[in-house]
């Protein structure tokens, strides 16, 4: 996927940021992290 971004003209930094930020903003991922860590991460989410 990163290769497709780079071939379309995106810079390395943009591609890396997009790939890292995408899963972090997923609601399912946030719920999984919250369930895994319990109340310890509730202040951050």
pLDDT in tens, 11-33: 888 888 888 777 666 777 777 77
Tokens linked to 18 = 């997009």
- Tally of structural domains, the chain: 1
Provide the token pair at 5. 């971004």
Residue 27 is predicted with a pLDDT of 76
* Domain range for 13: 2-41
Give the span between the Cα atoms of 43 and 45, in whole angstroms.
6
Name the residue among 18, 20, 22, 21 with its Cα closest to residue 5. 18
- In the structure encoding, which two tokens stand for residue 39, read together? 């109340």
Let me know the angle formed at the C-alpha of 20 by 9 and 39, rounded to the nearest 5 degrees: 165
More confident residue, 9 or 33: 9
What is the band of 3 on the pLDDT scale with cuts at 50, 70, 90?
A: confident
């Amino acid at each position: 996927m990163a290769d497709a971004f780079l071939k379309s003209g995106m810079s390395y930094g943009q591609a890396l940021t997009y790939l890292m930020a995408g899963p972090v903003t997923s609601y399912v991922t946030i719920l999984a992290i919250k369930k895994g860590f319990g109340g310890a991460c509730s202040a951050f989410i």
